[in-house]
Chains A and B, each alone.
Chain A
């Protein structure tokens, strides 16, 4: 069924296709006519002033927020009210949050094995093996038996990344992953994300870390007022912005 959907849309190659998507909070029009196609393996950085709808947009992709108009197609599956489709999409789309949202009552290892065991029905031993592999990749295997409350912010965020990766997602969404971190911890999280990008993961990253955008992004998207204002390759985007709003934004964040 997913194949036929994808064929109709004519985008069997792309990971995510958002077309003419609108969203309202009550009367407030937060997202206006969003059109975005993300290819497999593409790394996209989304930036913009606060309240511009960038977090809301990526949260629509795994249905943490519901869109009211237009369509979102993830990996060939149309996002509708059908709970089965939503669950399928959520299994394939990992998400990392600004405030980590680790489960405080479970150890780091249990945080990582929970979804593989209960959602993917993986045997416990195998899930633990996979979890340890990813904890090593984010460089904190030695913390596996601690509780999240015992870790620093940077460590918690790396656990959160490992937790998502344990579901072996096709796509990773990052919602301001470094905004709640102390400056000396930002780098350790960004390093993990850079590694991930180099391995070819499809990534959508909402962030203000322009260095990260320059280093790994294939495309930078600028949003303001609920609209996509401008998108371009990073070099072009930073050196030669077209819109006045983009120029103003860049001068504010790069100016100091």
Chain B
């Protein structure tokens, strides 16, 4: 045979054989590719056949949708007693929150959801307005709506008011001066302080609504407050801690960050919550009253921030040195470098880790039932120990499991959408 060969015409594309394409091809490749794969497939189908019909029967067919107590439920059917959920629905959603004021948390969550839509989905316009609103405007608004005016003794005396106004003026002056002299740290501290002062003044006014007691908060509302604040605080704080931990040019900052992260991470969340419950009041100046929910929020947010910091640090370490050098060589300062080059890339890499932390955080809120806060889990427990609804733990837990699942699963799906959307450089 001759060694030289020249192809003169291209071979046409032929249709794939039936074993490779279509449903049969898919089944063959995915479910029955080997004998052990086939065995596993059959086993899974068998287990599903065993498990799913009874669950459907329990939840929908033999279940009782209307009842006034557990005896009626038992008499009417052997399945779930959804009548209990129906009767105790407000408890599951709001705890003991004053039922005349339900519109307030409702409004807070509706405003939040509307403002989140443009942030979550590119195609909806209005992100330019919604992002600053969610970061700056929404927190005081939500506090004012849900909590109402927070009584603060300093605002009851003229001197107190003068002092606060003076502090505000001072902070604005500092921020303005920093911005003028291009001192980023000075303007940052000044404007942040001014914002915090405004925040305090605003929540002490509280839109002029009736104050509510945090002891009455419970159910899904409390769970969402804890998780929402935890997420909102832990992300920026985590970024700062992660950057601080890598700031080798500032050894003291670095040491403080490492110390904070390592101490918090080596302690169980429960003990952090207990610490916040019993120790936090000791550190506060006299006259500052911290209620239970507030203490739990502080403990919770700090705990989450330590974990978040480590997740984000993982992302920072994945950024090649060349990226820092390129940014430096273009004259970008540290702040611009982080904001425009490093963090966008690092955060993208760790989206799965961040969302995992969020999901973990959301479920960890159930631990606050130990410090006597009536979150969703404790409300469920209270339901089936109520003398009217004895012995309905299956129904109660199934209901909150569905709520937890819906929220966590949507977070996880959204993170996958986000990963796909941000996919640009690293892989084609």
Decide whether A and B are members of one complex. yes
Q: Are B330 and A148 in contact (CB under 8 A)?
A: no
With a cutoff of 8 Å between Cβ atoms, the chain A residues found around residue B329 in the complex are: 62, 64, 90, 93-95, 164
Q: Are A105 and B348 in contact (CB under 8 A)?
A: yes
B301 contacts the other chain (Cβ, under 8 Å)?
no
B370 contacts the other chain (Cβ, under 8 Å)?
no
A16 contacts the other chain (Cβ, under 8 Å)?
no
Q: Are A115 and B332 in contact (CB under 8 A)?
A: yes
Task: Report the minimum CB–CB distance from B186 to chain A (whole Å).
Answer: 15
With a cutoff of 8 Å between Cβ atoms, the chain A residues found around residue B325 in the complex are: 64, 95, 97, 101
> Main SS of chain A's interface residues?
mixed
Task: Report the minimum CB–CB distance from A150 to chain B (whole Å).
Answer: 7
Closest 4 CB pairs of A and B: A104-B425, A101-B326, A101-B322, A115-B330
Given contacts A103-B326, A114-B332, A119-B336, 19 further A-B contacts (CB under 8 A): A62-B328, A62-B329, A63-B328, A64-B328, A87-B331, A95-B325, A95-B329, A101-B320, A101-B325, A101-B326, A102-B326, A103-B341, A105-B344, A105-B348, A105-B424, A118-B332, A118-B340, A149-B426, A149-B428
With a cutoff of 8 Å between Cβ atoms, the chain A residues found around residue B348 in the complex are: 105
Residues of A49-93 at the interface with B, using a CB-CB cut-off of 8 Å, are 62-64, 83, 87, 90-91, 93
B427 contacts the other chain (Cβ, under 8 Å)?
yes
14 A–B pairs (Cβ distance < 8 Å), ordered by A:
A87-B333, A90-B331, A91-B331, A93-B329, A95-B329, A97-B322, A103-B345, A104-B425, A115-B331, A119-B331, A119-B336, A147-B425, A160-B326, A163-B330
With a cutoff of 8 Å between Cβ atoms, the chain A residues found around residue B37 in the complex are: none
Task: Report the minimum CB–CB distance from B11 to chain A (whole Å).
Answer: 27
Task: Report the minimum CB–CB distance from A231 to chain B (whole Å).
Answer: 25
Query: In chain A, what residue has the closest Cβ to B422?
Result: A105
Query: In chain A, what residue has the closest Cβ to B426?
Result: A104
Distance A224 CA – B328 CA, assembled complex (angstroms): 27
With a cutoff of 8 Å between Cβ atoms, the chain A residues found around residue B34 in the complex are: none
Task: Report the minimum CB–CB distance from B245 to chain A (whole Å).
Answer: 22
Q: Are B336 and A101 in contact (CB under 8 A)?
A: no
B323 contacts the other chain (Cβ, under 8 Å)?
yes
With a cutoff of 8 Å between Cβ atoms, the chain B residues found around residue A189 in the complex are: none
Distance A97 CA – B329 CA, assembled complex (angstroms): 10
Residues of B299-354 at the interface with A, using a CB-CB cut-off of 8 Å, are 320, 322-323, 325-333, 336, 340-341, 344-345, 348
With a cutoff of 8 Å between Cβ atoms, the chain B residues found around residue A150 in the complex are: 428
Q: Report if A167-B323 is in contact (Cβ < 8 Å); known contacts: A105-B345, A105-B424, A149-B428.
A: no
With a cutoff of 8 Å between Cβ atoms, the chain A residues found around residue B345 in the complex are: 103-105
A40 contacts the other chain (Cβ, under 8 Å)?
no
Task: Report the minimum CB–CB distance from B278 to chain A (whole Å).
Answer: 45
Distance A150 CA – B425 CA, assembled complex (angstroms): 8
A208 contacts the other chain (Cβ, under 8 Å)?
no
With a cutoff of 8 Å between Cβ atoms, the chain B residues found around residue A164 in the complex are: 329-330
With a cutoff of 8 Å between Cβ atoms, the chain B residues found around residue A118 in the complex are: 332, 336, 340
Q: Are B425 and A149 in contact (CB under 8 A)?
A: yes
Query: In chain B, what residue has the closest Cβ to A149?
Result: B425
Task: Report the minimum CB–CB distance from A149 to chain B (whole Å).
Answer: 4
- B406-428 vs A, Cβ < 8 Å mask (1 yes, 0 no): 00000000000000001011111
Query: In chain A, what residue has the closest Cβ to B325?
Result: A64
Task: Report the minimum CB–CB distance from B177 to chain A (whole Å).
Answer: 18
Distance A97 CA – B328 CA, assembled complex (angstroms): 12
Query: In chain B, what residue has the closest Cβ to A160?
Result: B326
A214 contacts the other chain (Cβ, under 8 Å)?
no
Q: Are B326 and A97 in contact (CB under 8 A)?
A: yes
Q: Are A149 and B330 in contact (CB under 8 A)?
A: no
Distance A119 CA – B329 CA, assembled complex (angstroms): 12
Q: Report if A104-B424 is in contact (Cβ < 8 Å); known contacts: A97-B322, A97-B325, A118-B340.
A: yes
Task: Report the minimum CB–CB distance from B181 to chain A (whole Å).
Answer: 12
With a cutoff of 8 Å between Cβ atoms, the chain B residues found around residue A97 in the complex are: 322, 325-326
